A and B are shown apart, each in its own frame.
Chain A
Amino acid sequence: DAGVIQSPRHEVTEMGQEVTLRCKPISGHNSLFWYRQTMMRGLELLIYFNNNVPIDDSGMPEDRFSAKMPNASFSTLKIQPSEPRDSAVYFCASSLEGKGYGYTFGSGTRLTVV
């Protein structure tokens, strides 16, 4: 299995621009998570999908952030408009449903907003 695949690996954009991050979960996993990691705040859960349905988006910082999962093999996280404080590493993770399963993380997207 190729694991969780994220693209792009690095993104540098100017403030005010739209940014779209992409994720392909592991085939057969029915839960998908978007996390953001910064030195100050650590790993923060942004949104959680189960069977392609958003279950908990309480971690999404504000309306500038949106996430979709149109099918079981693809999800996007969009930031519009982007701001310098959005600079972070964004991880996508997938899992089988259930409390006993750990998550498999993708390689992450390092976002820099200048």
Chain B
Amino acid sequence: QKEVEQNSGPLSVPEGAIASLNCTYSDRVSQSFFWYRQYSGKSPELIMSIYSNGDKEDGRFTAQLNKASQYVSLLIRDSQPSDSATYLCAGNDYKLSFGAGTTVTVRA
């Protein structure tokens, strides 16, 4: 089993809608979690981190962590065309393990 699994996508949403991205993880990565955004041809960029159960909000982004279900998600509210990118979930034990990514397209 991979340490971090992202099975959803690609995801296409209309401008202004909520994009919901999901990620599950194994017991080997259970400390802290990160969401990265990667534009085509660019490097991954850290946009959110979450360490404890519950929600964490930063602008239009909300990260949610449920340790009992081993589940982490990212919500993008009021999606904009500039949000079109691949979003990578990562979990940290002593190193970051990345999911395969979910490609989001926001339709204008």
Residues of A participating in the B interface, judged by any CB pair closer than 8 Å? 33, 42-43, 45, 48, 55-56, 91, 99-100, 102-108
A-B CB contacts (within 8 Å), total count: 44
Residues of B participating in the A interface, judged by any CB pair closer than 8 Å? 31-32, 34, 36, 42-46, 49, 51, 88, 90, 92-101
| Known contacts A42-B100, A43-B98, A45-B95; A99 and B32 CB within 8 A of each other | yes
Q: Give, as a whole number of angstroms, the nearest-CB distance from B14 to chain A.
A: 27
Of all A-B residue pairs in the complex, the 8 with the closest CB atoms, nearest first, are A105-B43, A99-B31, A43-B98, A102-B46, A102-B34, A42-B100, A99-B92, A105-B44
Question: Residue of B at shortest CB range from A44?
Answer: B98
Instruction: Report the separation of the CA atoms of residues A99 and B45 in the bound assembly, to the nearest whole angstrom.
Output: 18
Instruction: Report the separation of the CA atoms of residues A43 and B32 in the bound assembly, to the nearest whole angstrom.
Output: 18
Return chain B residues, CB-CB under 8 Å to A102: 34, 36, 46, 49, 90, 96
Q: Give, as a whole number of angstroms, the nearest-CB distance from A57 to chain B.
A: 12
